[in-house]
Amino acid sequence: MLRGCGKLKKNLPCSVHTETPIVLKTTARFLLGLSLVLLSSSVATAQVVLPRTLELNAKEMEQNGFVVAQEALQLAQFQQFEDALVRAKLAVQLAPRAHEIWALLGGLYLTVNQPKDAVPALEQSLKLNDKNPGAYFNLGSAHFRLGRYDAAARAIEQGLALKPNATEEWFNLGNAYLKLGQKDRAIEQYRRSLRLDRRFWPAYTNIGLVLYEQGHIRQAVKNWEQAADIDPKASEPKLALATALLQLGNEARALQLAEEALRLDSRYGTVEFQRENLWGDRLVADTQILLAKPPLRALMSQLQPEQSALPQP
């Protein structure tokens, strides 16, 4: 700017040219200072407003998660489990801190027979709230299906500590101990379930299974008779009772009961189904002797020829 002073001296003071850059710098400094003040003010405001906004958004998302979870429940009530599972997966994404929704997801995984996926969902639910007995019970069921009987027993026990009046869970705990080979301890849990509900016939049935395996056939018969009396439509105690009566020499009554049992549920004629229902080696073998009788063999062929597991004559 100073180099042009000679030409502009007559018309414009040179000081203007020398001061112009100073004015610009001052203005720039002022604007920069003002912008920093405004920026710092905005940051301070953001530090207050942004978390509130995020908090409101999080609450809104969580509310939406519960709405979607309710939709999943409604779908499950109409037996649309696969669609319900899809909604539950979305619900936990919207409300990842809601232990109820994680528990719902785990329960739906169990319903569609995916216990391996149920375990982490239920564990996450319990991390968020370790006072939910239902989540412990479902976790125990998932571990049981995966063959992790120790883990199943621990989970069910934790649930029972919170809800000791859960009749079926004492029974399920007994099943876990039975799988672990702790038969006396299994009977103890079955009897606890009966103290809560004397008409809970599955407990009588499984007590009979243990007694039969231990060679106490007449005691087993008493338990199976009680179970059959409580629920005449229950096929399992009838077929087990028929097997025991055959061993005691009452073939006519044994054949009659076995026929009734198989007409109620022909799946009990297969070794695989008997083992799934915790029938021990001795009872399975003796039941196959019973089912090999000609009248029952013919009935089995009629009921399920493609699934028959009967020995050949």
Of the three residues 143, 169, 197, the one that is the final residue of a domain is 197
Q: Are residues 171 and 245 in the same domain?
A: no
Question: 172 lies in a domain?
Answer: yes
pLDDT at residue 47 tops 90: no
Question: 40 lies in a domain?
Answer: no
Of the three residues 197, 232, 258, the one that is the final residue of a domain is 197
Q: How far apart are CA 73 and CA 301, in angstroms?
A: 41
Could you list the residue range(s) of the whole structural domain that residue 184 is in? 60-197
Q: Are residues 176 and 224 in the same domain?
A: no
Q: Are residues 184 and 220 in the same domain?
A: no
Q: Are residues 193 and 235 in the same domain?
A: no
pLDDT at position 296 is 96
Number of domains in the chain: 2
Question: 168 lies in a domain?
Answer: yes
| Tens digit of each residue's pLDDT (9 = 90 or more) over 75-93 | 999 999 999 999 999 999 9
Share of the chain above pLDDT 90, in %: 75
Q: Are residues 191 and 82 in the same domain?
A: yes
Q: Are residues 243 and 175 in the same domain?
A: no
Q: With contact defined as beta carbons under 8 Å apart, do 303 and 269 qualify?
A: yes
| Tens digit of each residue's pLDDT (9 = 90 or more) over 137-181 | 999 999 999 999 999 999 999 999 999 999 999 999 999 999 999
Question: 261 lies in a domain?
Answer: yes
**Which alpha helices (H) appear in 129-250, and where do they start and end?**
133-145, 149-162, 167-179, 183-196, 201-213, 217-230, 235-247
pTM exceeding the 0.85 threshold for the entire prediction: no
State whether residue 97 is helix, strand or coil.
Answer: coil
Q: When comparing pLDDT for 44 and 92, which is higher?
A: 92
Question: 70 lies in a domain?
Answer: yes
The average pLDDT across 2-9 equals 30
Question: 42 lies in a domain?
Answer: no
Q: Identify the CATH number of the domain in which residue 172 sits.
A: 1.25.40.10
Q: Are residues 121 and 217 in the same domain?
A: no
State whether residue 224 is helix, strand or coil.
Answer: helix
pLDDT at position 172 is 98
Q: With contact defined as beta carbons under 8 Å apart, do 144 and 122 qualify?
A: no
